[in-house]
Structure 1
Amino acid sequence: MSGAAWPVAALLVGYPVWWALGFGGLSMIVLSVPMAVLLWRRRPVKVPRGFGLWVLLLAGYLVSALMLAETPPGTYGELGAGRLIGYAMRLALYAAVLIMVLYLGNLTERELPQLRLVRMLGVLFVTTVAGGLLGVLFPWFAFTSPVELLLPEWVSGNPFVQNLIHPTAAQTQKVLGYASPRPEAPFEWANAWGSNASVLLVWFVVGWWVHGRARHKLFVALMVALAAIPVVYSLNRGLWIGIGLAVVYTIVRVGGRTRVALCGAVAVAGLVFALSPLASLFAQRLDKPHSNDIRAFTVTATIAAAGHSPLIGYGNTRNAMGNHRTITTGKTEWCRACGHPPLGGDGQLWLLMITQGFTGAALYVAFFLGAIRRHWSDRSPIGLAGVLVMGLVLLYMFIYDGLVTPLGLYLISFALLWRNSLGRDS
């Protein structure tokens, strides 16, 4: 591998080390610094079509800082360091992924071959499966990271920061009426694990099955079978829907014997799953859609709050007053866990509405829709997979917060599409 590609390998292959150190998703921000320096040295810099929308999204977030001190009706939120920390970290992440896309697109095929980049994403999928199994088997596993020890308490104690710097194997929630551990290692929370697992699965299959030999395909089959365990135990309906739609998309877009073979494989996998103990847990989760009312309440509250600053939003999240059952809920001395999650926590679309108004949400949607439109005709394995991921992004924006690691994987997938188009045009 060329020396210029080391920041990419450090991020994707070395991600478990970053997680153990307490950087986790923040590693993208750390590694964007050497990427920016190396990018500056190789000017002029190529820019992908449609990337101006992301630049506008970033610029809009800068403008939204004007509203950080404001509180829309029907919401509350502490002023001061906590709100500023959340804003600064999101701003740094948006800038970091912008740098990362430009860096990947300006590396030549010799410096970083497409297949090698795809396979590095596949390595991260193996890490994700290992982390998911850790969360299933040892859900109590957690430790204090070096970063957590070094940061002052007023920073490390911030809930948003704490999720990023404190490594844990699982997130325990009463999804089925009792405490259920949902895998999240090596990412920041359970929903991030679900989003990342589905995106990385796409690239794992492309890199190690489509472009693999017999032994690679055997390894893929084994890893996918193992992945089914944390995928089901995650109790993540969004992940299940995403995988289902990915299968349908692939069957529709491929043809000939590949389609027949894929249909057969799906039928066999479905039969094996139906006969396994995982089927019972899957059915239990479908019977208990406990989060529907909560999501409906927070989405409604988010849209209402965003309506008071529709162009630039409020820079950071706010909390709704009450919840879907009562207006009196809140954190108290005797119930520190009470309260309501921040507005925008139920999907990137809603997060953008509260932080950057309807303008920011529209720019985000236009960016990924534009990527699908431009690359739809690319029927290579990477082209088909990249368009699929762009579609998953538009699905997940309704149910998953894209911060922190999911957004990085979305933009790496975008960069793969861009690099593929450069190869076709050359």
Structure 2
Amino acid sequence: MTDLREGAPPPGPRSAPGHRAGQDPTGAADPGAVTAALSRPRSPRWLPLPPAWPVVGILALYPLWWALGLGVLIFPLMALPMGWWLLRNRPIQVPPGFGLWLLFLLAVLGSTIALGYQPQGTLPGTFVGRLPGVGFRVIEYASLTVLLLYVGNLPRPVLPQKKLVALLGWLFVVTVGGGVLGVFAGHWEFSSPVEMLLPQRLRSMGFIRSLVHPAAAQVMDVFGGMDIPRPAAPWGYTNTWGNNFCLLVGFFVIWAFATKRRWLAAVLLVVSVLPVVYSLNRGLWIGLAVMAVYLATRLAVQGRLWPLFGLGATTAVVGVLLAVSPLGDLVNARVEHGKSNDVRMYVTMEALRGLPESPLIGFGSTRNTSGGRNSIAVGSSSECERCGNFTLGGNGQLWQTLYAHGIIGTLAYFGFFGYGIWRFRRDRTAIGLVCSACLVVSFSAMFWYNALVTPLAFQLLAYALLWRNSDAHE
């Protein structure tokens, strides 16, 4: 899995194989190379920026954006220059199955007509009161769509496949670093510059605080009576940290193998076991198992059986490590104390119970239950924020799309990624295997992880890599 083959280069702005860029076999100027030079994203002379700078800026500098309090807000900001470049370089090519993604976006917009509706068993609210949260999701979905099209339409010399893989691999290093920070300095946090510029009324809102307040971990009572820091940096939430860890690890591995940095990969992967276990993130553990089995099976079908033996050996090593170290006690305690299971089951059943009131288009957004699991009179408070008023649609992408955007939006959303898995199934390159594994893992994560914002960004970048790596892009 060390081959980072670029795939067949498409026509137009990408240079043709078999001769130097800028020349054809007869020595004349290559129109494709000229077009590539003209369509290269440019920056002002006084501000030298690398080619494809919006994507490089988002991925390479994400720790900086997190520290500044921009975090996921960087995607809408960078969508502006990316969108402008797309408008200047029409016609815009779209990936296979893009019609399904457009249908999902239409479902997101169409479902907003139900924002004023109050399903049974939920807290009252108004159309206008729910608009800020919906507006945030609409803007982020639109921004990530621009990111997908921008990366897919960039000339390959401007953004090579290897460079994009390296950037995603770098973010895995950042994720592991943030995880280690969360384990050893779980209470570390600070006020970001963006946060300090906001009025106190906005800064005190939980949703706004989650966007602009950097923290190493989420401190949560998992076992009952004991607060435990669970790694979250730089992704805001422990669940998002676990989801991104699973989506990014494959890119780091193939980058390390392709660049002959296998010892670096081995050391970092061993170190990553610590935050993976201390995150107490069962969804992450399941996702890693799904990814390992999927990749081993794909390679075995190709006649390469060593991954199966490697999977067995890794399982044995992890088993021994858990048996002889305190990490095993922590895993056993997490399995035995599934404190969140009842809450997850409750909100899932409530979401499914309310869906028949608006099955096709959903309710436009999430809702909060009017009470708790045991009584409608129980609600959240400053002393017990998790006692009631649970969010319907907040416990997994599947439940959110169903509840907020109905059956139409759900089928379109997951149909897009499912089509991508099928459409690019014959891509046997390292990039193709890892990207398809990302899409497969997203289906296992849909039951307990919400994808917006950064997990969905990485899923769409994996889709773009598959698209650019295939003959379908020609």
- 1:298 has 2:343 as partner: no
Call closer, same or farther: CA 1:360–1:294 in 2, change over 3 Å. Answer: same
Q: What CA distance in whole angstroms lies between the structure 1 residues aligned with 2:127 and 2:198?
A: 18
2:254 is the alignment partner of 1:219: no
CA contact (8 A) 2:239 2:449 kept: yes
- Residues in 2 aligned to 1:135 and 1:334: alpha-carbon distance in whole angstroms: 24
Residue 218 (structure 2) aligned to one of 168, 171, 182: 171
Q: 2:74 aligns to what?
A: 27
Q: Is the 8 A contact 1:75 1:305 kept in 2?
A: no
The verdict on how the C-alpha distance between 1:367 and 1:129 changes in structure 2, with shifts beyond 3 A counting, is same
Given the alignment, which residue of 389, 411, 414 partners 2:438? 389
1:93 shift after superposition: 0.7
Whole-angstrom CA distance in 2 between matches of 1:356 and 1:260: 40
The answer for the alignment partner of 1:47 in structure 2 is 94
Question: What are the equivalent positions in structure 2 for 1:271-290 lying under 5 Å apart?
Answer: 271-290=320-339
Contact in 1 for aligned 2:372/2:387 (Cα 8 Å):
no
Aligned position for 2:452: 403
Matches within 5 A, 1:88-99: 88-99=135-146
Matches within 5 A, 1:179-218: 179-209=227-257, 211-213=258-260, 216-218=261-263
* Structure 1 residue 47: Cα displacement: 0.5
Distance 1:74 1:378, change over 3 A: same
- Tell which structure's C-alpha radius of gyration is larger: 2
Q: Secondary structure at the match of 2:357?
A: coil
Q: Distance in 1 between matches of 2:74 and 2:276?
A: 25
Number of aligned residues:
422
Q: Does 1:314 align with 2:363?
A: yes
Q: What's the counterpart of residue 148 of structure 2?
A: 101
Cα distance, 1:371 vs structure 2: 0.6
Partner of 1:248: 293
Give the C-alpha shift of residue 338 in structure 1: 4.3
Query: CA deviation digits over 1:357-394, x for unaligned, max 9?
Result: 12111111111110111011111111111111111111
Contact 1:306 1:358 (C-alpha < 8 Å) held by counterparts: no
Q: CA deviation at 1:157?
A: 3.6
The offset of 1:28, in angstroms, is 1.3
Alignment gaps of 5+ in structure 2: 1-39, 42-49
The answer to whether the Cα contact below 8 Å between 2:176 and 2:275 also exists between their aligned partners in 1 is yes
Rounded to whole Å, the distance in 2 between the matches of 1:425 and 1:98 is: 17
Contact 1:4–1:107 under 8 Å retained in 2: no
1:319 CA drift (Å): 0.6
Following TM superposition, by how much is the alpha carbon of 1:69 offset from its aligned partner in structure 2, in angstroms?
1.6
CA RMSD in angstroms comes to: 2.0
**SS of match in other structure, 1:49:** coil
Match of 2:44 in 1: none
Q: Is the Cα–Cα contact under 8 Å of residues 203 and 385 in structure 1 kept in the other structure?
A: yes
Kindly provide the CA deviation profile for residues 228-264 of structure 1, in whole angstroms up to 9, marking residues without a partner as x.
1111111000000010111111221114363266236
Q: 1: CA distance between counterparts of 2:248 and 2:383?
A: 42
Deviation at 1:332, TM superposition (A): 4.6
1:109 aligned counterpart, secondary structure: coil
Report the CA distance between 1:16 and its aligned residue. Answer: 0.3
Q: 1:323 to 1:335 in 2, by over 3 A?
A: closer
Aligned to 1:228: 273
**1:307 match: secondary structure:** helix
Identity fraction in percent:
41
Shift in alpha-carbon separation, 1:78–1:157, aligned structure 2, 3 A: farther
Which secondary structure does the structure 1 equivalent of 2:210 belong to? Answer: helix
Amino acid at match of 2:230: R
**SS of residue paired to 2:218:** strand
Q: Judging by fraction of residues, say which structure has more helix.
A: 1
Shift of 1:43: 1.1
- Is the Cα–Cα contact under 8 Å of residues 188 and 404 in structure 1 kept in the other structure? no
Name the counterpart of 1:258: 306
Matches within 5 A, 1:78-157: 78-79=125-126, 83-157=130-204
Distance 1:143 1:184 in 2: 14
State the TM-score, normalized to the length of structure 2: 0.85
Tell me the amino acid that sits aligned with residue 411 of structure 1: L
2:284 is aligned with 1:239: yes
Counterparts of 2:203 and 2:97, CA distance in 1? 37
What is the rounded CA distance, in whole Å, between the counterparts of 1:212 and 1:269 in structure 2? 26
Summarize the Cα distance change of 1:151–1:118 in structure 2 as closer, same or farther, 3 Å threshold: same
Q: How much does 1:325 deviate?
A: 2.7
